[in-house]
Every structure is written in C-alpha cells, then in structure tokens.
C-alpha cells in the first residue's frame, strides 16, 4: 500500500465514528451508479472497470485508477459541510497528496474521490474537479 493510500485509509478510520453514525441517518446512493466506469473513463482518459464495495466504487485500469466513496449521508447540507470540514482538517497541511484526493459534499452527502497515482500530473487537479462535478450531478441536492 502506498503512503497516499495509507494516509487516506487512516483519514477514513479517524473519521469513522462521526461518519458511521451519520450514514445510518439517510439512504446511501450506490456509488458505482453515481460515478460510473464510463464517466470515470471519459474524464480520466483511459478505460477503467468499476468494482462496487461497501459505500465505495473502485476504478482500475492499466493506466491508473481511483476510488469514489460515499462517506456519510447526514440530516442536512449544513451537517454535511461541517462533517467534511472536520475530515479536511485532519489532513496534513501542505501535503502533496492533497492533489490526488478530495472530500466534498452534495446536499446531505459527504463523499471523497481519490486518484491512485504515483505522483500528481499536470491534469490531476482538473480531473478531480471534473469527477467531483460529475458526482454532484448524480447526487441529490
């Protein structure tokens, strides 16, 4: 497991008590339906397969991959924003890995998108923004 994946895993573990309780309060959308392999592939520029998991969808190809995770569904969008802020605050400041992962909200849903890359590329930030926008289109407002 790379350092980036280890840090993301640690971030999820640290935030789980907050998120586990919050996830029980709402219906969780199917992650691979929110961000399909086709959408991921068109944004990233390579053909990926999607593998669903528990509140997540993992994308794999020979060229790269990543993960879309529904972290929690809470009561209100304000609660979602507050929860996402707490998670972001746990991330190390000035970490170059921040360019390969984001924690965002849409309505009452807190989600993350991570790219599995050895190092960020010139297009990483733009690709993350496009993936976030695509996920937000499919999530309830």
Read off the pLDDT of residues 65-99 as tens digits, 9 standing for 90 and up: 999 999 999 999 999 999 999 999 988 877 666 56
Q: What is the pLDDT of residue 141?
A: 87
pLDDT tens digits along 11-48:
444 444 444 444 444 567 899 999 999 999 999 999 99
What are the tokens at 68? 């879309």
Flag whether pLDDT at 2 surpasses 50.
Answer: no
* Alpha helices by DSSP H, the chain: 3-23, 31-34, 37-44, 77-90, 124-138
pTM of this structure: 0.79
Find out whether 113 and 131 touch, Cβ atoms under 8 Å. Answer: yes
């Amino acid at each position: 497991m790379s350092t980036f994946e280890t840090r993301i895993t640690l971030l999820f573990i640290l935030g789980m008590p907050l998120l586990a309780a919050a996830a029980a309060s709402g219906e969780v959308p199917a992650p691979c339906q929110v961000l399909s392999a086709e959408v991921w592939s068109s944004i990233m520029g390579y053909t990926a397969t999607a593998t669903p998991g528990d509140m997540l969808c993992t994308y794999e190809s020979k060229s790269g991959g990543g993960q879309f995770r529904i972290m929690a569904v809470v009561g209100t969008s304000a609660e979602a924003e507050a929860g996402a802020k707490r998670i972001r605050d746990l991330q190390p400041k000035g970490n170059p890995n921040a360019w390969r992962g984001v924690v965002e909200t849409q309505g009452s849903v807190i989600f993350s998108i991570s790219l599995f890359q050895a190092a960020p590329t010139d297009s990483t930030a733009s690709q993350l923004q496009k993936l976030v926008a695509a996920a937000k289109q499919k999530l309830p407002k």
